Amino acid sequence: MDTNKAASPARRIWLLLGGLGGLTAIIGLVIGLSQIWQASSMQKAEDRTQATIIAILNAQLGVQQEIATLQVSNVKTGPTATAIAAQVAELQATNAALEADRLRAEKAATAAPHATSDAPHSPATALRAESQVPGVSAELIAFGRFENTVTARMRLVNTSEQDAVMFVTPGSYVLNEADQAKYAVGEQSNPGSTIVPAGGSVEMWAKYPLPDDARPAHLTLALGHGLLFERLKP
């Protein structure tokens, strides 16, 4: 009898400890689920931001191509020339508004916490490369990997006095510097030729799908007209 009475408090203590252990596990599970939900929410927000930026870039590219087309017109005087000048001015204002929207979106993306380090990022200083076309260079303004896709955003700058017809992303690829594996371009904003107006610039983007198991430490981005960006971290 005395032994049973002595054992009862011990059993109650073990039951209490077991209950506390179960409660701790439940709390840990709740915290874990909360962290997963927060990470998922941040990822969805980041995806929406990237989609917004790409949509703005597409709109800008369309406007810039319209401007370039109008600027190569042979009509220099008369009512038609005046109408073209007015249309160019309107398109330039539209482009400026889009640029402001893009900068705000990129600022919001930079300020927001990132759920993954694989999202495309903007270098602190844009990398620059000279093309084989005199007066035309390229700036790599964003480069990064999200899931199994590498995205690159470039700005072509023409400092010459003549418009330049460029084929930059068609036929381009990224190269795994470790094993020399090449990954061809998938989606691209400019699948054909791109007119870079004299004294102006044009932005574009391209996406390069990688195998799911690819883990390159450094990539080389090979673009048309001899444009190369090496030792890039995806």
Task: Return d(Cα 20, Cα 14) in angstroms, integer.
Answer: 10
- Banded model confidence at residue 43, pLDDT cuts 50, 70, 90: low
Task: Return d(Cα 14, Cα 165) in angstroms, integer.
Answer: 80
Measure CA 98 to chain center. 17
- Tell me: pLDDT of 125 over 60: no
Helix segments in the chain, DSSP class H:
2-71, 78-111
Contact status, residue 226 vs residue 131, Cβ threshold 8 Å: yes
pLDDT at 108: 66
Task: Return d(Cα 176, Cα 204) in angstroms, integer.
Answer: 22
pLDDT at 25: 46
Task: Return d(Cα 48, Cα 171) in angstroms, integer.
Answer: 29
- CATH class, range 117-234: mainly beta
